[in-house]
Homo-oligomer: A and B are copies of this chain.
């Protein structure tokens, strides 16, 4: 549902977009070949790489275009603005993530295992696409409105997913019910997220499977007292 939203472009004065060159034509195709076209994807990939390396505000569109092997102007045939590129890149990633989760949940029903799977997938995905992982740990936290609202949406969805699993676990008696599902969800997400950040910033590797299992161990059984 992309309408021409009146959003203040970053730093640019709002300018009425030309509504097509010919007076008669209605909406000119914002995206020449459609969202899935090869160039569209190339630009997103390039943006992820470049921005991960230098940060959003230190990544000129020209650098992204160059990395993608297209002209500067071409970026604007596929995206309305620089920040739309960032948003779409993050969108794409989240979408993929949820698709995998939904698939796996069709045959994996135990809440404990579901949580562990999500934790694992989160870590694993980041391992496989370091650039995107950097974006998620950095640019997505920007306070700038253009990321903030949108990030919130994605994060809220993630948390929501976890809460549902946790609530089912509570309902079936395998999780404590005297603790809010929201709190637990945030603890789990926060723990994974922090492990990831730390790994990205320090460059230290981890083993996704094992790390996910350990985090779940801590959260499920606690680290106080003897091991059960």
Contacts and interface: CB of A to CB of B under 8 A. Distances in A.
A171 to B, nearest CB: 14
Contact of A193 (B53, B194, B201): B194
A143 B52 contact: yes
Contacts of A134: 143
Nearest to A198: B186
Given A195-B186, A218-B183, A222-B220, A141 B144 contact: no
A212 to B, nearest CB: 11
A79 interface: no
Interface in A169-193: 174-176, 178-180, 183-184, 186-187, 189-193
A124 interface: no
Task: Sort chain A's interface into a size bin.
Answer: 35 or more
A191 B187 contact: yes
Contacts of A152: 201-202
Contacts of A195: 183, 186-187, 190
Main SS of the interface on chain A?
Answer: helix
Interface in A193-228: 193-195, 197-198, 201-202, 211, 214-215, 217-227
A148 interface: yes
A105 B179 CA distance: 28
A4 interface: no
Given A194-B189, A223-B175, A184 B218 contact: yes
Contacts of A223: 166, 175-176, 179, 184, 219-220
15 contacts: A52-B143, A54-B143, A57-B57, A57-B144, A112-B224, A139-B143, A141-B197, A166-B223, A174-B225, A179-B217, A184-B223, A186-B194, A190-B192, A191-B194, A220-B223
Given A53-B143, A138-B141, 15 more contacts: A52-B143, A58-B144, A134-B143, A148-B201, A176-B225, A176-B226, A179-B214, A179-B217, A179-B223, A183-B214, A187-B187, A187-B218, A190-B194, A191-B191, A193-B194
